[in-house]
Structure 1
Amino acid sequence: MAAPEAYVPRVALVTGAAQGIGRAIALRLAADGLDVAVNDIPSNVGELHKLVEELREYGRLAVAIVADVAKEEEVKAMVKRAVDELGELNVMVANAGIAAVTNVVDMDVDVWDRILSVNLRGVMLCYKYAAAQMIEQNRGGRIIGASSILGKKGAPGVSAYCASKFAVRGLTQSLACELASHKITVNAYAPGVILTEMTRSKLDAKFGQGRHGDATKALVGLDSNGPDAGPEVIASIVSYIVKPETYFITGQAINVDGGVCLS
Structure 2
Amino acid sequence: MSKLAIITGAGQGIGEGIAHRLVKDGYAIAVADINDETAAKVAVDLTSEGYQAKAYHVDVAHRDEVFALVENAVADFGDLALYVNNAGIAFIDSFVDSDPDDVERLLDVNLKGTYWGIQAAATQFKKQGNGGRIVNAASLAGYEASALQSAYSASKFGIRGLTQSAAKELAKDKITVNAYNPGIVRTKMRDAIDEKTAAIKHETVAEQQANCLEEIAIGREATPADVAEVVACVARLVSRTEKDYVNRAFNM
Do these two structures clear the TM 0.5 threshold for a shared fold by scoring above it?
A: yes
- Unmatched 5+ stretches in structure 1: 1-7, 255-262
Could you list the per-position Cα deviations for residues 45-96 of structure 1 after superposition, in whole angstroms to 9, with x for gaps in the alignment? 1221111112223433211110100001111111100100111111000000
| 1:162 is aligned to 2:153 | yes
Distance 1:113 1:144 in 2: 23
Preserved contact between residue 173 and residue 252 of structure 1 (Cα < 8 Å): no
Q: Which runs of 5+ in 2 are unaligned?
A: none
Q: 221-230 vs 172-181, which deviates more?
A: 221-230
How many percent of aligned residue pairs carry the same amino acid? 40
* Matched residue SS, 1:92: strand
Distance 1:216 1:114 in 2: 29
Deviation at 1:252, TM superposition (A): 5.1
- Do 1:139 and 1:183's aligned partners in 2 also have CA atoms closer than 8 Å? yes
- Report the counterpart of residue 17 of structure 2 in structure 1: 24
Deviation at residue 121 of structure 1 after TM alignment: 0.2
Query: Does 1:133 pair with 2:119?
Result: no
- 1:90 partner SS: strand
User: Residue in 2 aligned with 1:116?
Assistant: 107
Name the SS for the 2:133 alignment partner.
strand
- Would the aligned equivalents of 1:37 and 1:62 in 2 still touch at CA under 8 Å? yes
Distance in 2 of aligned mates of 1:80 and 1:15 = 14
Question: Do structure 1's residue 182 and structure 2's residue 173 form an aligned pair?
Answer: yes
Q: Per the alignment, do residues 12 and 142 of structure 1 end up closer, same or farther by CA in structure 2, a change over 3 Å counting?
A: same
**Equivalence for 1:258:** none
Q: Equivalent residues in 2 for 1:88-127 (5 A)? A: 88-127=79-118
What is the aligned counterpart of 1:247 among 228, 243, 250?
243
The residue number in structure 1 matching 2:73 is 82
SS at match of 1:145: strand
User: Which of 151, 156, 164 is the matching residue for 1:173?
Assistant: 164
**Which residue identity does 1:250 align to in structure 2?**
N
Structure 1 residue matching 2:177: 3-state secondary structure:
strand
User: Following the alignment from structure 2 to structure 1, what is the Cα–Cα distance between the partners of residues 221 and 190?
Assistant: 10
**Equivalent residues, number:** 243
- The CA distance in 2 between the partners of 1:185 and 1:159, in whole Å, is 29
Deviations 1:221-250 (A, max 9, x none): 838995412110110011111112442301
- Return closer, same or farther for 1:158/1:210 CA change in 2, 3 Å cut-off: same
Q: 1 or 2, which has the higher helix percentage?
A: 2
Q: Distance in 2 between matches of 1:164 and 1:209?
A: 25
The equivalences for 1:6-45 within 5 A come to 10-41=3-34, 44-45=35-36
Aligned counterpart, 1:214? 209
1:50 aligns with 2:47: no
Larger mean CA deviation between 175-184 and 54-63 belongs to: 54-63
SS of residue in 1 equivalent to 2:96? helix
Aligned twin of 2:139: 148
User: In 2, are the aligned partners of 1:35 and 1:60 still within 8 Å (CA)?
Assistant: yes
Q: Which residue of 2 aligns with 1:234?
A: 227
Indicate conservation of the 8 Å contact 2:2/2:28, yes or no: no
Measured on the aligned residues, the alpha-carbon RMSD in Å equals: 2.5
Q: Which amino acid aligns with 1:23?
A: E
Q: Tell me the TM-score normalised to structure 2 length.
A: 0.88
- Structure 1 residue 251, shift from structure 2 partner: 5.4
Q: In structure 1, which of residues 191, 209, 228 is the aligned counterpart of residue 182 of structure 2?
A: 191
* Distance in 2 between residues matched to 1:61 and 1:105, nearest whole Å: 47
Q: Aligned letter for 1:30?
A: V
TM-score, normalized by length of structure 1?
0.85
Q: 1:216 Cα deviation (Å)?
A: 8.5
